[in-house]
């Protein structure tokens, strides 16, 4: 943690400060690449409007993360590998999972999405099913 505080945090904060000076609406992505876990609490003081992390890697749900980050907007919920729901599930399963995520997280301050980038082979149609479900959920 000492190395984090000395080397990583200062550069992160500088980048985020510069980004905020250009545009106030920024998303912080906390990468859980290759199943590497992060201490999400160490990002609480960072400047951002919305936050995205690997909910499945970190084992921290969107509502739990929202509490960690002081009620700020959260983005994600779908695990992003080729073996996960986003890529493998049929239409009905994607719709049900989208509804579950929104029901669990709420419609205020939640952006439905993946925990990280998605496989290139993911079809636009799959994403449209999720988008339409999210749109209809709030009507």
Are residues 40 and 72 in contact, defined by beta-carbon separation less than 8 angstroms? Answer: no
Which range marks the domain in which residue 36 is found? 2-137
Whether the CA torsion 55, 59, 60, 63 is positive or negative: it is positive
- Condensed to tens digits (0 to 9), the pLDDT of residues 80-110 reads 888 888 889 999 999 999 999 999 999 999 9
Distances (CA, A) of 104 to 62, 77, 113, 138: 8, 10, 14, 14
What per-residue confidence (pLDDT) applies to 34?
79
Residue 5: pLDDT above 90? Answer: no
Burial 77-104 (b: 16+ CB within 10 A, else e): bbbbeeebbbbebeeeebbebbeebbee
Number of domains in the chain: 1
**CATH code of residue 82:** 3.20.20.210
The pTM is what?
0.90
- pLDDT value of residue 92: 97
Residue 36: pLDDT band (50, 70, 90) is confident
pLDDT for the residue 91: 96
| Residues sharing a CB contact under 8 Å with residue 13, sequence separation 6 or more, in sequence order | 46, 47
Q: Residue 29 has what pLDDT? A: 94
Asked if pLDDT for residue 64 goes beyond 90, the answer is yes
């Amino acid at each position: 943690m000492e190395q984090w505080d000395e080397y990583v945090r200062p550069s992160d904060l500088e980048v985020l400060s510069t980004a905020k000076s250009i545009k106030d609406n920024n998303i912080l992505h906390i990468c859980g690449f290759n199943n590497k876990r992060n201490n999400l609490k160490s990002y609480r003081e960072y400047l951002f409007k919305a936050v995205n992390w690997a909910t499945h890697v970190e084992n921290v749900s969107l509502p739990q993360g929202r509490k960690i980050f002081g009620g700020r907007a959260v983005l994600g919920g779908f695990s992003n590998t080729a073996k996960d729901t986003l890529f493998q599930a049929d239409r009905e399963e994607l719709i049900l999972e989208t509804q579950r995520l929104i029901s669990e997280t709420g419609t205020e301050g939640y952006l439905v999405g993946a925990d990280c980038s998605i496989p290139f082979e993911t079809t636009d149609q799959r994403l449209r099913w999720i988008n339409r479900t999210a749109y209809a959920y709030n009507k």
